[in-house]
Amino acid sequence: MSSLRTAGLTKSFGGVRAVDDVTVEIAEGRINGLIGPNGSGKTTFFNLVTGLIRPDEGRVLYRDRDITRYAPHRIAHVGLGRTFQLCRVFPRMTVMENMLVAVRRTRLRELLAGTHATGEVERARHWLTRMGIEHLERAEARNLSYGQQKLLELAAVFMGDPELVLLDEPAGGVNPALIERIVTLVRDLNAEGRTFLVVEHNMDMVMGMCDHVIVLDRGAPIAEGPPSAVRADPRVLEAYLGV
């Protein structure tokens, strides 16, 4: 079953097609990779899928529902979550506050007053524990290491209980031990039924973790398939690896 499909998705900036007639399918239940050289359109593709920008042409379908014109919060509500290439947290809020503000049912006024549902706090602690940062719940986010902020951002995404999670360079700027922890988390969560689409420049991570890989070059897909086939594809070697 298809979790996400795009049909003819196109977006131009200043006459340059950042995403060029992209038709791809993300199968449910898999860990999918999206790779390509810098400027190949990967983050623009994420922004189109999650409603941060509107396409010039084409459609985005999630479980056969056309979400092309949905606002970002509505897309999150139907079951898509995402992280960002540059980690996004509220630096002057505590870790727990960051978790609770991620839940749309929690109003900012209630958050500041400390009047929030007990169930939401328990759920937040569950995800902080899954990420291994439960001991930091009272710390301000600005005092966390960059890797800990990455884990906080990921934990906050799961407060929305997404079925499809888009990860934009989860290994960027973190140490090998944390990369291995992220890989383990993704595999465990995938085994529990969540689908992933991962943009990443760390080829070893992508090829070792993903079931299916899509390659973009100059905004358009040039290859897709299992990691072993993609790694050996001459078009990928030329476009992505430069050989």
Q: Does residue 143 fall inside a structural domain?
A: no
159 within a domain of the structure (yes/no): no
The tally of domains found in the chain comes to 1
Domain that holds residue 24: 2-84+167-239
CATH label of the domain that carries residue 180: 3.40.50.300
Q: Is residue 98 part of a domain?
A: no
Q: Tell me the per-residue pLDDT of 134-165, one tens digit each, with 9 for 90 and over.
A: 999 999 999 999 999 999 999 999 999 999 99
Query: pLDDT at position 109, please?
Result: 56
Residue 157 lies in a domain: no
Q: Which amino acid makes up residue 152?
A: L
The one-letter amino acid code at 70 reads Y
Return the pLDDT at 39: 87
- Residue 38 is predicted with a pLDDT of 86
Question: According to DSSP H, which parts of the chain are helical?
Answer: 42-49, 72-78, 95-101, 108-113, 118-131, 146-158, 176-191, 203-209, 227-232, 234-239
What pLDDT is recorded for position 112? 54
Mean pLDDT of 93-107: 80
C-alpha pair distances (Å), 33 with each of 143, 203, 219: 31, 10, 16
- The order of strands in the sheet holding 212-217 is 80-82, 164-168, 195-199, 31-35, 212-217, 220-225
Provide the whole-model pTM. Answer: 0.91
Is 221 in contact with 239 (CB distance < 8 Å)? no
pLDDT beyond 50 at 106:
no
**pLDDT tens by residue, 11-45:** 999 889 999 999 999 989 999 999 998 889 999 99
- Residue 111 lies inside a defined structural domain of this protein: no
Residue reference for tokens 């979790």: 3
pLDDT of residue 20: 95
9 belongs to a structural domain:
yes
Question: 212 lies in a domain?
Answer: yes
Structure tokens at 157: 């995404």
**Between β-strands 195-199 and 65-66, what pairing exists: parallel, antiparallel or unpaired?**
unpaired
Q: Is 152 within the bounds of a domain?
A: no
